[in-house]
Amino acid sequence: MRVAVDAMGSDGAPEVEVEGAVQASLEGDTEIVLVGDEAQLKPKLEAFPKHGNIRIVHASEAVAMHESPVNAIRQKKDSSLLVALRLVKEGEADAFVSAGNTGAVMVGARTVLGPIRGVARSAICQALPTRTGKVVVLDLGANVDCSARHLCEFAEMGIAYSHYALGVENPRVGLLNIGEEDVKGTQVAKEVHGNLKDSPHMNFIGNVEPRAMYNGEADVIICDGFIGNLMLKTSEAVAWFMAQLMREKLESSSMSKLGAVLARKSLQELKNTIDPNEIPGAPLLGVNGVVIIIHGSSSPRGVANGIVGARVNFENRLIEHIKENIEELRAVERAMTGTAVGNGGQ
């Protein structure tokens, strides 16, 4: 398969993207297309004596992190982001990876690839670590305000990702809320709870609090993008704070330093568990193509893992399975209301 990489998107572009592509190409049989300024990319790629199956497609422009997503997509038609997305649209690539402007990726993907029929809102999802494995959380920032129907669509897309990309059988779905009781939360949350509870094909376990989420009591967690992004950034901040605190304590005395040496392997495993560079990127679900978003400050390892995530999603036919799940959701809606529900974004 072929993965198009926006090579001009990250904070460390294009060095990070080139090195990450080289790592991924040497670890698997994926063909990687680096999209960006050829004058910059070619010498950096040639600096690696071995770099697997990688080619360069020139793009004369790049979208900066600070740019308005809508304006950037309208004005920079030859940006590395849009050129790479068009490769997917035209069948010259099977998936897209970018560490660039997240808003521009979302707007560009909806514009170039188009939405999946029946999906009103795209959602950013990510598999976060728990005590027992992974939990898929969405939306993590694509949509601030969501209707009950949008959240039900997120549940169907999250189930497809959990099952076909992560291998979870019959994923347990939870609604992120301030309490486990059915009556907790906003009116939208109560409506979502009722809809999913009445869906016979859904393994819905009800409302889930953050502690239960990290305890591994659900496989898929749904929420609107405001809550999801705030939860994610708070979790990252707490992880950073705990790491700093642990480092200070371990360096506070000779005995503590000795303990750190003895526990070095366990500490490294802990670091790898929470390191965002060790996850296979954050899929943008709901568009007609495999789109992987990775952090702007990603390391080469983060880029390589994003490429791996793109390959897994494509090979497991994630987009086709999302379409199937959305059709099942519509069938449930028709059975509940007794009328046909359209494919619009209400």
Q: Which residues of the chain are under the pLDDT cut of 50?
A: 340-346
pLDDT at residue 62, rounded to an integer:
97
At 112-160, the pLDDT tens digits run 999 999 999 999 999 999 999 999 999 999 998 899 999 999 999 999 9
- Structure tokens belonging to residue 147: 């209707």
Q: Are 306 and 315 in contact (CB under 8 A)?
A: no
- Structure tokens belonging to residue 110: 């909806």
| Angstrom distance (rounded) from CA 224 to CA 139 | 6
CATH of domain 1-114+287-315: 3.40.718.10
The torsion region of residue 114 among left (phi > 0), alpha (psi -120 to 50) and beta comes to left
CATH of domain 121-278+321-346: 3.40.718.10
Q: Are 129 and 273 in contact (CB under 8 A)?
A: yes
At 195-237, the pLDDT tens digits run 999 888 899 999 999 999 999 999 999 999 999 999 999 988 8
| Angstrom distance (rounded) from CA 230 to CA 44 | 37
Between helix 80-89 and helix 102-112 the angle, nearest 10°, is 30
Name the residue ranges covered by the structural domains of the chain: 1-114+287-315, 121-278+321-346
What is the gyration radius of the CA atoms in the chain, in angstroms? 21
Nearest to 6 by CA among 132, 97, 118: 97
| Angstrom distance (rounded) from CA 18 to CA 307 | 12
pLDDT at residue 270, rounded to an integer:
60
pLDDT at residue 292, rounded to an integer:
97
> In whole angstroms, what separates CA 250 from the centre of its chain?
34
Contacts of 277 (CB under 8 A, 6+ apart): 295, 298, 299, 301, 302, 305
The torsion region of residue 317 among left (phi > 0), alpha (psi -120 to 50) and beta comes to left
Decide if 1-114+287-315 and 121-278+321-346 have a common fold: yes
Nearest to 300 by CA among 51, 5, 23: 23
What SS3 string covers the chain?
CEEEEECCCCCCCCHHHHHHHHHHHHHCCCEEEEEECHHHHHHHHHCCCCCCCEEEEECCECCCCCCCHHHHHHHCCCEHHHHHHHHHHCCCCCEEEECCCHHHHHHHHHHHCCECCCCCCCEEEEEEECCCCEEEEECCCCCCCCCHHHHHHHHHHHHHHHHHCCCCCCCCEEEECCCCCCCCCCHHHHHHHHHHHCCCCCCEEEEECHHHHHCCCCCEEECCHHHHHHHHHHHHHHHHHHHHHHHHHHCCCHHHHHHHHHCHHHHHHHHHHHCHHHCCCEEEECECCEEEECCCCCCHHHHHHHHHHHHHHHHCCHHHHHHHHHHHHHHHHHHHHCCCCCCCCC
